Structure 1
Amino acid sequence: MKIKRIAIVGAGTAGWLAANHLGAELSTDPAIDITVIESKDVPTIGVGEGTVPYIMNGLKRFGISEAELLLTCDATFKQGIKFVNWLDQKKHGDNAYYHAFDEPYPGGLDISNYWLNHAKARPFDDVGIQARIAELGLSPKQVSAKEYQGDLAYAYHFDAAKFAQLLAKNAQKKFNVKHRYATIKDAKHDSNGNITHIVSSEGEALAFDFYVDCSGFSSVLIDQQLEVPFISKAEELLTDTVLVQQMPLGAEDKINPYTTATAHEAGWIWDIPLTTRRGTGFVYSSRHMSEQEALVLYAQYLGVEPSEFSPRKLPMQIGYREKFWQKNCVALGLAQGFLEPLEATSILLTDFSAELLAKSFPKHSQDINIEIDYYNEVITYAWERVVDFIKLHYCLSDRKDSSFWLDNQKSETFSEELQARLNKFKIRTPKQSDFFSRFDLFNEKNFLYVLYGMKYHTQPSVLSEAQKQQAQALLDSNDRIVASAEQHLLKHKDWLTGLKSAAERG
């Protein structure tokens, strides 16, 4: 049977990302009908406000204007993450390092061994230029730059609810995706376990050929109907709760072109600048910190009175589904799984999974068995390696001021793959060949910034004089680029203000 009718159960970022990916891939077939079913009774979580550069691939494919994204979603540029106090302050002072988006060794010259041998007095993120550009508060692109192109790699911060609205508008206008309201409470199955109908709270039976579960934590299809088990990662990633508070942005406040991630005794705090406000969140482990302690520390960070402070509380069930594609249903977004928001992995995994689904989408129901095992294998691999990358930030810390940090350093909380990679990186620096799968969403570039930002010890290799000279020449060149950056790059806030002014002038 040809698959014609596709239901996406749940709106929000996940649902509308799925709609755009499927629409972009399948809209040339006039028989395909895609419907997003949104519940008025289930609010979206709406805290995924940070992205990585991968997001651009989809935005360009969908035909979304970058200017429209920036203007309608209160968006700002993100050049990476500034990590503050992830190391022992007694040893390292008020330490900070950047996980930037640029190549740590532009031009293909790996100078990490030169840094280990000769330049460790400088932070590793000085090897490139982006960390210093970001610290100067500069935009990653010039005013004259084309859309989705810049002097430096970048991603975005944006209002998640407004981003979902932009995706919705685009999917309906460009790909003829339909939208309707209904709260799905039940489903009907055939003798093989495939879903034939979904049933609304009013008792209406809605028949489709294929279902995409984007229903968030409730997972109404993949969990409640298909009963796919959940694999917990709570023993690897120890944080399980987040408090969320939006903060006003004053007219004179600067807008950083990066996310700030500040560690505390039992987790960390995100601080994401938009053009209209700051999005902040206090991530912590309830096994290591009480809610009252968290409220006090969070209020202190924001400079507000704890007695007048009532942030939104969200429990985090860390892990993912044993299978992401079961029968004629695929789970995306929070229905698929959830990892704490370090490194903006939620939208990344949703975007990646939705894109792979679109490219693997079966034309006929009998094709499902051909695609399903590969899809599940790929997405499982991607999730496992993302768990490893998030864990990397915690397990490398030498903080000993709380049981949370000590527990994170215990080897039994590492995966075998992460432990094997860390052992390898003790004797040599990471190489591209260590990340042999194209489904490693974080590779040697990302590992280099985190490893050496966190003072990881690697045995340096012996370099020839020619290699030393090449490396030093590249560092000198980067220093000159940074020194002249303010001559051709605007301050981040000025760039964004200029865009808004130009749009208002028409």
Structure 2
Amino acid sequence: MSKTINNNSLDNQPIDTQLHTNPTKPIENIVIVGGGTAGWITAGTLAAKLKKQHDKNFSVTLIESANVAPIGVGEGTWPTMRRTLKNMGIRETDFIRQCHVSFKQGAKFCQWVTGKKDDFYYHPLMLPESAGQDDVSAYWQAIQFPYMAHSSHSNNAADQQSFSMLLSPQQAICEAGLAPKLITTAEYDAIANYAYHLDAGCFSEFLKQHCINQLNVNHVVDDVIGISNDDSGDISCLTTKQHSDIYGDLFIDCSGFKSLLLGEHYQVPFKSCQDILFVDSAIAVQVPYEDENSPIASHTISTAQTAGWIWDIGLSSRRGVGHVYASKYISEQAATEQLKQYLSPTVADVEQLTFRKIDINPGHREKFWHKNCVAVGLSAGFLEPLEASALLLVEISANMIAQQLPANRACMDIVAERFNQTFLYRWDRIIDFLKLHYMLTQRNDSPFWVDNRDPKTIPQSLQTLLELWRYQLPSDNDFTHATEVFPAASYQYVLYGMGFKTQAPHWGISTQAKDAATAVFDKVAQDTAQLQHNLVSNRALINLIKQYGLQRV
């Protein structure tokens, strides 16, 4: 006989089922609980791959409640989104037109180092020109210190010597508000590497229509009121209010912070990391442009405050702005006032805006795949908006499920173990990378920044790497996985943007290495000048795309 597991949040009436897991039965029916960006990205990724490689005997069903509003603040992506959308068969032109999209080429971190008004550094999306050439970065270190400075003027000599300015043209492109491609550049192709800023609500609806109409995803609008297990403990079916039982072979939990399947049903513990990442609240607001031709920033702007930071994301239709903060160090009222002060120079009447409070519990589940259930998105965990890792984790989770989709239940545990190992590692590395932004600060103006430098709040894995990097440059060889969420280049942008110093090689730098580095600096300068001459503004390109569209791939 089967057994039924009910939770307090579910209907208490038992659900009888005689279905028993057959280990050799093929995985044919995939059921996703929850819509939003996580649910529809997962549905589209799986359905597109199955449709491309197989012609029958599979189904993807997504169940979402009409009574659950999406969180809707995940407006920043990584360049991986281009591949994700392309693999789904989505036209980039349609996506840009319908989701209020703008181009994102990195992040600008303001006032994170000293807190002064002219303090900033960049984390561009283009790899440094010297990627893989340690001699170039070493020579940059030798000529840079002790002249580290942060200036808002690109003609400042010290700013000219910043790591991101000398080794990538992207900082200059962003400072000029330029787009990463031309109207003649094909869809998803790039001149400068790019991601997107998007309207999360519109994006979710856009994906939904594509998945239903083009990828044959079954869409069920209903509330899940019961969850049944078979004799092995696997989920056999979900009972809904209006559609009775929905059976599946693999269940994917995209139910958001509720974590209906993995958290509530299976009681997989949640692992908090608030002792490392302090922020636990956000206040979000949508800000109109002054007019329809207002410039659109080509990057995310992250401006540090006394107990957190403010994100500023430019879409084609509006700005999305929010204050992420630690409630232990500042009240909601004071955090809101800081946000209003940030907005007041560009908004005529700040008091007319609608501010929305969002609670954050930074951390993740202790495992993500249990039995025949895997969590993706907020149901797996959330850290904070810094560096836009949330949607990235959705993408790479959905992609790994699609790429390693178990043929049957007999091999699912092997895939699940591999998935759990991979994503526990990835979550840990993201935590390390986010903490890096906080603990390298020189700010002493509030306990928040002082406490972030306390070694007790810094993971040992990050402390070990920092000790290594005091004597040798960050390298991809410093990490155990061949594919990292944040490669060594990302660490270099943040480390050297925040003034971290790697000791010069004790055996010196050869003339040949100096000449090679100088050649790299000259090439970046030439590329920068050419791009500044050829590229149009972010706003101009978006307007052209809306009018003419991009070339199909």
Normalised to the residue count of structure 1, the TM-score between the two structures is 0.96
Listed one character per residue, the Cα deviations across residues 104-162 of structure 1 (whole Å, up to 9, x for unaligned) are 12575442111111145321111211111111111111221111112111000011111
Match of 2:21 in 1: none
Match of 1:5 in 2: 29
Deviates more, 1:358-367 or 1:384-393: 358-367
User: How far apart, CA to CA, are the structure 1 residues paired with 2:186 and 2:242?
Assistant: 49
Q: Does 1:383 align with 2:424?
A: no
**8 Å contact 1:184–1:220 — kept in the other structure?**
no
SS of corresponding position for 1:37? strand
User: How far apart, CA to CA, are the structure 2 residues paired with 1:372 and 1:413?
Assistant: 31
**8 Å contact 1:382–1:439 — kept in the other structure?**
no
User: How far apart, CA to CA, are the structure 2 residues paired with 1:178 and 1:16?
Assistant: 11
Match of 1:415 in 2: 459
Please list, as runs of the form range in 1=range in 2, the aligned pairs for 1:216-231 lying within 5 A after superposition: 216-231=256-271
SS of corresponding position for 1:288? coil
Match of 1:261 in 2: 302
User: How far apart, CA to CA, are the structure 2 residues paired with 1:308 and 1:266?
Assistant: 25
Listed one character per residue, the Cα deviations across residues 24-63 of structure 1 (whole Å, up to 9, x for unaligned) are 2222141111111110010111100001112222112111
Q: Does 1:77 align with 2:118?
A: no
Matching residue within 358, 381, 400 for 1:356 = 400
Matching residue within 449, 452, 471 for 1:427 = 471
- For 1:484, give the aligned amino acid: Q
Matching residue within 277, 285, 293 for 2:318 = 277
Unaligned residue ranges in structure 1 (runs of 5+): none
**8 Å contact 1:236–1:413 — kept in the other structure?**
yes
Listed one character per residue, the Cα deviations across residues 147-203 of structure 1 (whole Å, up to 9, x for unaligned) are 111211100001111112222222223321110101113201122211112122458
Q: Does 1:125 align with 2:164?
A: yes
Match of 1:57 in 2: 83
Match of 2:327 in 1: 286
From the superposition, tell whether residues 492 and 307 of structure 1 become closer, same or farther in structure 2 (CA, over 3 Å): closer
Q: Does 1:499 align with 2:545?
A: yes
Matching residue within 41, 61, 65 for 1:17 = 41
Matching residue within 63, 87, 92 for 1:37 = 63
User: How far apart, CA to CA, are the structure 1 residues paired with 2:325 and 2:480?
Assistant: 33
- Once the two structures are TM-superposed, the CA of residue 438 in structure 1 deviates from its matched residue by 2.8
Please list, as runs of the form range in 1=range in 2, the aligned pairs for 1:30-429 lying within 5 A after superposition: 30-89=56-115, 94-106=118-130, 108-110=132-134, 111-120=136-145, 121=158, 122-126=161-165, 127-201=167-241, 204-249=244-289, 250-303=291-344, 310-429=354-473
From the superposition, tell whether residues 491 and 310 of structure 1 become closer, same or farther in structure 2 (CA, over 3 Å): closer
**8 Å contact 2:66–2:221 — kept in the other structure?**
yes
**8 Å contact 2:285–2:353 — kept in the other structure?**
no
Unaligned residue ranges in structure 2 (runs of 5+): 1-24, 146-157
SS of corresponding position for 2:265? coil
Please list, as runs of the form range in 1=range in 2, the aligned pairs for 1:448-459 lying within 5 A after superposition: 448-459=492-503
SS of corresponding position for 1:224? helix
- For 2:299, give the aligned amino acid: Y
User: How far apart, CA to CA, are the structure 2 residues paired with 1:51 and 1:311?
Assistant: 23
User: How far apart, CA to CA, are the structure 1 residues paired with 2:324 and 2:223?
Assistant: 30
**8 Å contact 1:244–1:313 — kept in the other structure?**
yes
Match of 2:532 in 1: 486
From the superposition, tell whether residues 203 and 139 of structure 1 become closer, same or farther in structure 2 (CA, over 3 Å): closer
**8 Å contact 1:381–1:439 — kept in the other structure?**
no
Q: CA RMSD in A?
A: 1.7
Listed one character per residue, the Cα deviations across residues 63-101 of structure 1 (whole Å, up to 9, x for unaligned) are 1111111111110110000000001236xx521111001
Moved over 4 A (4+): 304-310
Count of residue pairs brought into register by the alignment: 502
Percent identity between matched residues is: 38
From the superposition, tell whether residues 284 and 476 of structure 1 become closer, same or farther in structure 2 (CA, over 3 Å): same
SS of corresponding position for 2:541? helix
SS of corresponding position for 1:427? coil
User: How far apart, CA to CA, are the structure 1 residues paired with 2:231 and 2:131?
Assistant: 58
SS of corresponding position for 1:143? coil
